Amino acid sequence: MEDSIPKMRVENLDVSYFDKQALFSINLDITKNNITALIGPSGCGKSTFLRCLNRMNDVIDGCVVKGKVELDGSTIYDQRIDPVTLRAKVGIVFQKPNPFPKSIYDNVAYGPRIHGLANTNSELDDIVEKSLIRAGLWDEVKDRISDSGTSLSGGQQQRLCIARAIAVNPQVLLMDEPCSALDPIATARIEELMDELRNRYTIVIVTHSMQQAARVAQYTAFFHMGYLVEKGATEKMFTTPDDKRTQDYITGRFG
Amino acid sequence: MNNLDNNNQLTDESPSEYSSDRLLKRQKKEKRFQLLGKLSVLASVSFLFILFISIIEKGSSAIRQSEVLLSIDLSTENFRQEVLMDPKKIRGSELNKLTRNSLIKLFPNVQSRSDRRMLYSLISSGARHELRDRIIQNRDLIGGIISVWLPLSDDADMYLKGNIKKDVPSNLRRFKDNQISWLDQLMSDGLVRKSFNFRFFTNGDSREPEIAGTLGALIGSFFTLLVTFLISFPIGVMAAIYLEEFSPKNRFTEIIEVNINNLAAVPSIVFGLLGLGVFLSFFEFPRSAPLVGGMVLSLMTLPTIIIVSRASLKAVPGSIREAALGLGASKMQMVLHHVLPLGMPGILTGGILGMARALGETAPLLMIGMVAFIVDIPTKIDDPSTALPVQIFLWADSPERAFVERTSAAIMLLLFFLLTMNFVAVLLRQKFEKRW
Ligand SMILES: Nc1ncnc2c1ncn2[C@@H]1O[C@H](COP(=O)(O)OP(=O)(O)OP(=O)(O)O)[C@@H](O)[C@H]1O
Ligand SMILES: [Mg+2]
């Protein structure tokens, strides 16, 4: 991560749920306009780490975060930082699709509405349409835009959640296994989208698919049992990993 | 769930793994279990059915009230000068005299004073009020002769409804033989009818069952519930929102939680005593008023509403909260835009059911004096009044035979309102669910 400026910087991050520590002194830079993939076996703390980046852990009972997380050089775990403003800048797509039980339109329009991103209804329509197009969902839902978001299939719901997140126009987009419920075509569409979004946004993605990490990510970080084992350029990670555990994981020997 | 079922079926059909003997046994067990369930449902439904049948059987006759057609001589010489100027000055005794004269004309043979008194008692003593109202409403009636249907007394009404047995010796009966013969004569002259008992719905309470009505109690109940709702619903929902979504989870809030649950279990009469001690004795709010009744009942429903509201808020999936927060909604926006609307059907249902419980509540109202005999129909929330269940209590306590059917009829009315409220709760829930 030598050449780019870090958009986010994580230093000595410890996270624990009640008495159980989930992350142990993580240090990681998230570089600007790049995609960083987080990989690792289930339960190793990827989602926990991701949620630290926009303070979604604040609302989880018993979750204690220690250490430093910076966005554009200013620490986000600070009294003066309003987590609400932060989350508008650092958007998130969750592991399980969670559309609001409202219309598809209202799902996407919700973020722009509360942040006042559109002055007129037609502007709002525009944002909604663009977001749905970019998430690859528009063609499927344009005739049923006022149907409930929960009436969509799992994969469609996931894309709806992506559309909803990018409608707010965040600087950083956190995606927790966004393609786990998608077929290869939709997955390809999302990957395309990520690549396109990379020009403007910084993306962090959690994935269980090594191929996906290799395809889309410029940087990869490998988590194991709460520790960040290895990080670096994706190419190097997948060809000549330093750590034996990384090697085992990406070649499918465990996890 | 579906998967599980399918799996079961698969194993059912593979005898290699399960002997058909075992399968049969299990299916039998299953059947027996279901039968038990069906029997329980049947039992509870039949209890309800028996309750309804007995109430309706007793109360349905109160729908009709016997009346007699009298022609009343309103010639000017029957009135004092003062009354001719202002009919409002007419006295009850004068009105009684008018009806009595008309009765005597029908039965000229009745001479002795005691017989006459018995003859007069065929007519409800409330008849004079109705006559008075007529004259005041239309003073042109004075000077002519009018024919009016006036209510018969409760005893005559009971006799006509077959509730007084002729085989009981006359002196042990409230309704004597000669009264029966007069009434029979009136009937054969076609002067008696049974008509819809509108008085039951338009009058206030009365000592005379034939003119006693439920309107006063209904309005009292309405005002009481209004106050209860206005106090307990906003406070309850707000408290639930705070406790569920905002409050830190610590020792202190835990204690509050436990105490709210305890409060919900406190017998309602205790709240009545509290109302008596605090609202009436200390703050000196008016006695017997729906205002105080509503305050007492809201103390009672408040914990229920808090608990129900919290449960409905808790039922809203956490992923919805995460979704809203993740988009940069503040906590308040999250609650107002997503959690509360989703929890609202449950909250409303709980609220209405709490109101229904408050509607049927009697004991605390007794404590704050809403048990008084009140004839006037309340028009403000601090007018003295009673409530429907208290009215039932009062009538059930009255010795007159005619109050038995009225008690049951009032119970029917109460049940009607309770069922309506439950129905509205269901409707509201469905309406809200459609929106989402
Ligand atoms: N809300 C919570 N309360 C308590 N413990 C939690 C909570 N969320 C996660 N954990 C624990 O923290 C650890 C890391 O969980 P996390 O969800 O971050 O894993 P993950 O890497 O995202 O796994 P997966 O790939 O299965 O999504 C796990 O051991 C989990 O049990
Ligand atoms: Mg995860």
Per-residue pLDDT tens over the stretch B87-140: 888 888 888 888 998 988 889 888 888 888 888 989 998 888 888 888 888 888
Name the more confident of A181 and B345.
B345
User: Given a cut of 50, is residue B307 above it in pLDDT?
Assistant: yes
Res A2: pLDDT = 45
Q: Which of B321, B327, B335, B338 to mutate to test the interface with A (most CBs of A within 10 A)?
A: B327
Tens digits of residue pLDDT in B288-306: 899 999 999 999 999 999 9
Ion ligand 2 residues within 5 Å by Cβ: A 47, 95
Report how far residue B412's alpha carbon sits from residue A33's, in angstroms, rounded to the nearest whole number.
73
Q: Ligand 1: does its nearest atom lie under 6 Å from the Cβ of A207? A: no
Residue B18 phi, psi dihedral angles, 5° rounding: -120, 130
Is the Cβ of B248 closer than 8 Å to some Cβ of chain A? no
Report how far residue A153's alpha carbon sits from residue A134's, in angstroms, rounded to the nearest whole number.
18
User: Given a cut of 80, is residue A110 above it in pLDDT?
Assistant: yes
Q: Whose CA is nearest to atom 4 of ligand 1?
A: A17
Contact between B355 and B229 (Cβ < 8 Å): yes
Domain A2-99+172-250 coded CATH 3.40.50.300: yes
How far the first Cα of chain B sits from its last, in Å, is: 24
Residue A152 phi, psi dihedral angles, 5° rounding: -80, 165
CATH superfamily entry for domain B215-432: MetI-like (1.10.3720.10)
Annotated domain spans of chain A = 2-99+172-250
Question: Which residues from A are below 8 Å from B333, CB to CB?
Answer: 114
The residue length of chain A stands at: 255
Highest mean pLDDT of the ranges B1-5, B230-234, B402-406: B230-234
Mean pLDDT within B133-152: 88
SS3 B342: helix
Structure tokens at A103: 């219309």
Question: What's the complex ipTM?
Answer: 0.90
Mean pLDDT within B20-26: 89
Structure tokens at B424: 């509205």
Chain A 93-122, residues with CB within 8 Å of chain B CB atoms: 94, 96, 98-102, 110-111, 114-115
The residue length of chain B stands at: 436
Beta bridge partners of B193: B67
Is the Cβ of A148 closer than 8 Å to some Cβ of chain B? yes
Amino acid present at B366: L
Residue B327 phi, psi dihedral angles, 5° rounding: -85, 0
Tens digits of residue pLDDT in A44-67: 999 999 999 999 988 888 899 999
pLDDT mean across residues, chain A: 90
List the single range of A209-218, A241-250, B122-131, B161-170 with lowest mean pLDDT: B161-170
Res A4: pLDDT = 57
Contact between B70 and B130 (Cβ < 8 Å): no
Task: Output the pTM of the full model.
Answer: 0.83
Is the Cβ of B327 closer than 8 Å to some Cβ of chain A? yes
Which candidate, A94, A185, A104, places its Cα nearest to that of A151? A104
Annotated domain spans of chain B = 68-197, 215-432
Which candidate, B377, B409, B398, B369, places its Cα nearest to that of B208? B398
> What count of CB pairs under 8 Å joins A to B?
61
Beta bridge partners of A66: A14
Residue B117: Cβ within 10 Å count: 11
Inter-chain CB proximity A61 and B249 less than 8 Å: yes
Res A124: pLDDT = 95
Res A222: pLDDT = 94
List the single range of A3-17, B2-16, B170-184, B290-304 with lowest mean pLDDT: B2-16
Banded pLDDT at B400 (limits 50, 70, 90): confident
Res B14: pLDDT = 53
Res B249: pLDDT = 82
Res B16: pLDDT = 54
Q: Ligand 1: does its nearest atom lie under 6 Å from the Cβ of A44? A: yes
SS3 B78: helix
Question: Which residues from A are below 8 Å from B253, CB to CB?
Answer: none
User: Per residue in A186-222, is it b (16+ CB within 10 Å) or e — as a string?
Assistant: bbebbbebbeebbeebbbbbbbeebebbbbbbbbbbb
